[in-house]
Structure 1
Amino acid sequence: MLRFKHLFVTIVGLALCVLSAQAQPRDSKRFAAIENEKIAYITKELNLTTAEAQRFFPIYNQYSKAVWNVRSQRQDDSTPSPKGTNSFNRSSGQRDVLSYDAKELNIKKEYRAKFAEVIGQSRASQFFEVEQNFRELLYKELQNRKRNE
């Protein structure tokens, strides 16, 4: 029980330090709460020890920021085109969806190797599945809240 308390306090403290150090416009109270839930979920699902969590989450935060940047670029480049034109054939600033997917895949490959140094190859690969499962749980929760409103 004492070990669990220590693990929980360490992870929450680490999460709060990281979130406060990376004050960005996207950091709202809801975002911080979701990110804390995500950190707890990842810790539980990957069965991270305290030492592993302390080494893993700074790398995870770098990964998260890199992926966020690629997704933001994709969003910025997806401005609606004038009616009757194809957004993929615009003469200025063609949007190549596959290039964004390739960038994101390269980031995942790079960080899987970094994660493996801390938590081993198996759990590093499992991380991406755990992250997807969390997104699905979050989406289901959002859908349930919308139905109940």
Structure 2
Amino acid sequence: MNYLFRTLLLLCLLAAVPAAAQKGARPGGRLSQLENAKIAYLTEKIALTQDQAQRFWPVYNEFTQKRRDLNRRMRLLRTDEPDGLSDAQIKDNLTQALALRQQEVNLEKEYFDKFQKVLTIRQVGKLFVAERQFTRDVLKRVADRRGGLPPGGGPGLDD
């Protein structure tokens, strides 16, 4: 059974990686394949029971949506051309970015507590590690498909 699950997980990952490399993927299409692969990956890595999964995924999805919103707001503040901004605008953007980063830390603390109500502390620890590892694996596969360049064609990420 475990071998079958791992094989299915690998197939989902392999099917999802090309989707991550394509721009403008439809939310109901290939991007959802990546999300499904992440669900399978996290489920295996943190060894969710069926009962835990039913309680965990709604909480995790809520957390993910809030974190995505914060990240989207942070991206909107970034500029490649700060020379086009006044000193006051630069200061305001940096102040807002720091406030958003603090909100992200607060969000992680809040959901750290919520996750502990559904998972064991060991599973919570594995969750945070597995999320980072999944992201690294997907970015590596996308970079490999692009001939070794990380997404965006720039320097790689340290995270």
Q: 2:55, 2:118 within 8 Å by CA — same for their partners in 1?
A: yes
Partner of 1:90: 89
Compute the TM-score of the two structures, normalised by the length of structure 2.
0.69
Q: 1:59, 1:115 within 8 Å by CA — same for their partners in 2?
A: yes
Letter of the 1:108 partner, please give it. Answer: E
Compute the TM-score of the two structures, normalised by the length of structure 1.
0.73
Encode CA deviations 1:14-62: one digit per residue, 9 max, x unaligned.
xxxxxxxxxxx97241210110000000000001111111111010100
Partner of 1:104: 104
Tell me: CA distance 1:45–1:83, structure 2 relative to 1, closer, same or farther (3 Å): same
Tell me, yes or no, if structure 1 residue 116 matches structure 2 residue 116. Answer: yes
Letter of the 2:55 partner, please give it. Answer: R
Partner of 1:71: 71
Structure 1 stretches of 5 or more lacking a match?
Answer: 9-24
| 3-state SS of paired residue (1:27) | coil
Tell me: CA distance 1:79–1:91, structure 2 relative to 1, closer, same or farther (3 Å): closer
Tell me: CA distance 1:84–1:61, structure 2 relative to 1, closer, same or farther (3 Å): closer
Q: Higher mean Cα deviation, 115-124 or 67-76?
A: 115-124
Deviation of 1:80 after TM superposition, in Å, equals 4.6
Q: 1:112, 1:125 within 8 Å by CA — same for their partners in 2?
A: no
Structure 2 stretches of 5 or more lacking a match?
Answer: 9-24, 149-159
Distance across 1 between alignment mates of 2:147 and 2:105: 34
Distance across 2 between alignment mates of 1:105 and 1:144: 32
Distance across 2 between alignment mates of 1:137 and 1:86: 40
Partner of 2:155: none
Question: What does residue range 1-149 of structure 1 map to in structure 2 within 5 Å?
Answer: 1=1, 27-81=27-81, 83=83, 85=85, 89-90=88-89, 93-96=92-95, 97-147=97-147
Distance across 1 between alignment mates of 2:113 and 2:67: 16
RMSD of the TM alignment (CA)?
2.7
Letter of the 1:120 partner, please give it. Answer: T
Task: Kindly tell me the number of residue pairs found equivalent between the two proteins.
Answer: 127
Q: 2:45, 2:126 within 8 Å by CA — same for their partners in 1?
A: no
Deviation of 1:84 after TM superposition, in Å, equals 5.8
| Paired-residue identity, % | 28
Letter of the 1:129 partner, please give it. Answer: V
Letter of the 1:119 partner, please give it. Answer: L
Distance across 2 between alignment mates of 1:39 and 1:91: 39
Distance across 2 between alignment mates of 1:120 and 1:86: 49
Distance across 1 between alignment mates of 2:68 and 2:100: 12
Tell me: CA distance 1:141–1:86, structure 2 relative to 1, closer, same or farther (3 Å): farther
| 3-state SS of paired residue (1:57) | helix
